[in-house]
Amino acid sequence: MTAPLPARPGKITLVGLGPGAIEHMSGRARAAIAEADTIIGYAAYIRLVAELLPGKEVIKKAMTEELDRVHEAVDRARQGKNVALISSGDVGVYGMAGATYETLFQAGWTPDDDIAVEVVPGTSAINSCAALVGAPLTHDFCAISLSDLLTHWPVIARRLNAAAAADFVVALYNPKSGRRTRQIAEARRLFLAHRRPETPVAIVKSAYRARQHIEFATLDSLLDADIGMLSTVLIGNSSTFIQHGRMVTPRGYANKYETASGAAHRGERAGHSLSSGLDGWLAALREEHANGQSIAALASRFQLPPDYIAATLADADEALHAASDTAHDA
Amino acid sequence: MTAPLPARPGKITLVGLGPGAIEHMSGRARAAIAEADTIIGYAAYIRLVAELLPGKEVIKKAMTEELDRVHEAVDRARQGKNVALISSGDVGVYGMAGATYETLFQAGWTPDDDIAVEVVPGTSAINSCAALVGAPLTHDFCAISLSDLLTHWPVIARRLNAAAAADFVVALYNPKSGRRTRQIAEARRLFLAHRRPETPVAIVKSAYRARQHIEFATLDSLLDADIGMLSTVLIGNSSTFIQHGRMVTPRGYANKYETASGAAHRGERAGHSLSSGLDGWLAALREEHANGQSIAALASRFQLPPDYIAATLADADEALHAASDTAHDA
């Protein structure tokens, strides 16, 4: 860096506020705001934490001025200020953390520079919305933003299609805005090619804020729901259900245990992989292949790439040969 | 319910502690523990918050006793106790929240019952690990657990394959244990069919705890890294890079703006969808189809299902006819 050194080192702290209510902020997020000289953020987020800000320089920016916010933060940090860049949810999820590092790198920043950078993690919208509706994230999940302001639509569509086909629970961020109304309809169309119309959906608006609104729907009825800028849409996987107003994705205990007695099913052991886990599946695959099942037939049955089936079978053969070599050596 | 009503209503609060350091807990999580009579959790999580527990009944359970923990909680809540079921990270992510609702439903619980249930969201491992390594979650991401204790391997493998193909940033939870060592190698194999060997990977162990350890690797070198029970593995997408020890996924500002001047590229407008966003892409699709490009060719080029291409084109035709009808009416 050729700029003159500041009187004292500056700092940029990227702070995720969590869903919005101050009680859902972490202690570290509160402390980071308390330590800061300057707070920069979208006006709506500044309002959420107004009571923490007396005595500080506060810079409010409009929604689309993300890069401006970062430039202001870097300028102030160069002057030796401690700057908190705040956002709702987790600041790393579609958030300011990426733009900040990108801008710093372009300016020649390194970790030895006189600007320190800290990212304070927070509770992201997918987590806060899930907590409000029940327990939908008990199994593998994805977050997909429907905003095409910075992303080509085919990239978004491919991810929607893949997530729907592979039975992920999915959270749609930025599902709709005043100008973007068709993206959610396209997402629904892509999902309906793989999932039942009755697949449960939850739409959560302004989680943990004054105007919080929760609505349950199905993939079929999704477009009738009230969806806007402040909504997150949670789409269940093929096992997710809604009962008594709670959306729940089973973890899979029923794959191993009897519901009534809690005893393990025959062939299953607590603390061990399922009999259809990796090792058991590979053994079955080997046996079926030895019995004449083709790689193409196995790939189609398990909905996995033929190359993957072929490679695991080749590995298994190798392991068998190695084992028989060892036995021979012994 | 036929059991006698308790003297006072009980409560089960499911509390996500965040990464582990008390300063990363939310205010609501601390308050929920303070309000509770009984704290139930895996022994390691109990230790993380030991300083908050004096004067409370504390029930420590082993890792595999999840359902036991839930049954203890329901029993105590039936006696009118306020019970906090704690877990690290977010209690809804592969956590106790699902098992609790499932158990309550099986016991005939409804929201009008004398047991209240609250889920307190927290910062999940994907978020805390991301904050420590930089800003990898600036674009669409998935969480996939490699544990096959309750999940059939082909289900896990299909999700790994889909996430790799659709270019998600991916967090692998439960990547490895004493008994499960091959799952991570299979995950790497599935990814390498779609991603470059140089794809950046971060392995974070014990985030924000005393033995925190961060290691960067590539997909190619992943298996040489120190990976265990307490690790989360973050795999970048095709744009993710590591620079100066920070892992960053670009948000996509370069798709719209000149890096140097900050001006929008020709044809792009701040606050509006990209020219290759949904509307622009649909218009281009329609034009190319009108110029003789087959649906199969378009599907292959955009790596999207032919049915999806056909359906969007049919919709576009319908919209055009509707518009021309309107023009005719006017």
> What does the pLDDT look like over B47-57, one tens digit per residue?
889 999 999 99
* Rounded CA separation A89/A184 (Å): 22
Structural contact between residues B172 and B156, judged by C-beta atoms closer than 8 angstroms: no
Contact flag A303-B154 (C-beta cutoff 8 Å)? yes
Contact B236, B200 (CB under 8 A): yes
At A288, which helix (H) or strand (E)? helix A278-290
pLDDT given at position B61: 83
Look at residues A240, A245, A248 and name the one whose alpha carbon lies nearest to residue A199: A240
- A330 pLDDT more than 50: no
- % of chain A exceeding 90 in pLDDT: 79
Give residue B207's identity as a one-letter amino acid code.
A
Q: Verify whether the Cβ–Cβ distance A141 to B143 is below 8 Å.
A: yes
> Residue B1's pLDDT is what?
44
Average pLDDT of span B120-135: 97
Q: What is the pLDDT of residue A311?
A: 94
Task: Specify which of A7-21, A140-154, B251-265 reaches the highest per-range mean pLDDT.
Answer: A140-154
Q: Determine the residue among B149, B248, B261, B300 to mutate to test chain A binding: the one whose Cβ has the most chain A Cβ atoms within 10 Å.
A: B149
What is the count of residue pairs from A and B with beta carbons less than 8 Å apart? 371
What pLDDT, on the 0 to 100 scale, is given for residue B149?
93
pLDDT range class, residue B21, cuts 50, 70, 90: confident
C-alpha span between B107 and A46 (Å, rounded): 45
Q: Which of A120, A117, A85 is nearest to A9 (CA)?
A: A117
Contact A149 B272 (CB under 8 A): yes
Using an 8 Å CB-CB cutoff, list chain A residues near B302: 154, 157-158
Per CB-CB distance under 8 Å, the chain B contacts of A110 are 244
Cα atoms in the 13 Å half-sphere on the side-chain side of B292: 0
Q: Is the pLDDT of residue B95 over 80?
A: yes
CA–CA separation, A312 and A305 (whole Å)? 11
Rg (Cα) of chain B, in Å, rounded? 25
Q: What is the pLDDT of residue A20?
A: 80
Does residue B58 contact residue B39 with C-beta atoms inside 8 Å?
yes
B278 chain-A contacts, CB cut-off 8 A: 148, 153, 180, 182-183, 186
In Å, how far is A102's CA from the nearest CA of chain B? Answer: 7
B154 CB neighbours in chain A (<8 A) are 276, 281, 302-304
Q: What local confidence, expressed as pLDDT, does residue A213 receive?
A: 97
pLDDT at A272: 92
Model confidence at B330, pLDDT cuts 50, 70, 90, reads very low
pLDDT in tens, A87-104: 999 999 998 999 999 999
Please state the rounded mean pLDDT for residues A245-251. 96
Q: Does B24 touch chain A (CB under 8 A)?
A: yes
Q: Which among A28, A137, A278 has the least Cβ separation from residue B153?
A: A278
Q: Please determine, for residue A37, whether its predicted confidence score (pLDDT) is greater than 60.
A: yes
Distances (CA, A) of B306 to A118, A141, B72, B276: 45, 26, 52, 19
Of the pLDDT bands very low, low, confident and very high (cuts 50, 70, 90), residue A48 is: confident
The alpha carbon torsion through A23, A97, A146, B250 (nearest 10 deg) reads -170
Q: Between residues 201 and 220 of chain B, which touch chain A (CB distance below 8 Å)?
A: none
Gap between the Cα atoms of A195 and B40, Å rounded: 37
Spatial neighbors of B12 by CB under 8 A, at least 6 apart, are: B73, B74, B77, B83, B85, B100, B104, B115, B116, B117, B118
Arithmetic mean of pLDDT, A26-35: 95
β A38-42/A82-87 pair status: parallel
- pLDDT for B7 beyond 80: no
- Asked whether A186 and A111 are in contact (CB, 8 A), the reply is no
Residue numbers of A between 143 and 202 with CB closer than 8 Å to B? 143-145, 148-159, 161-163, 165-168, 179-180, 182-183, 186, 189-190, 193
Q: What pLDDT shows up at residue B270?
A: 86
* ipTM confidence score: 0.94
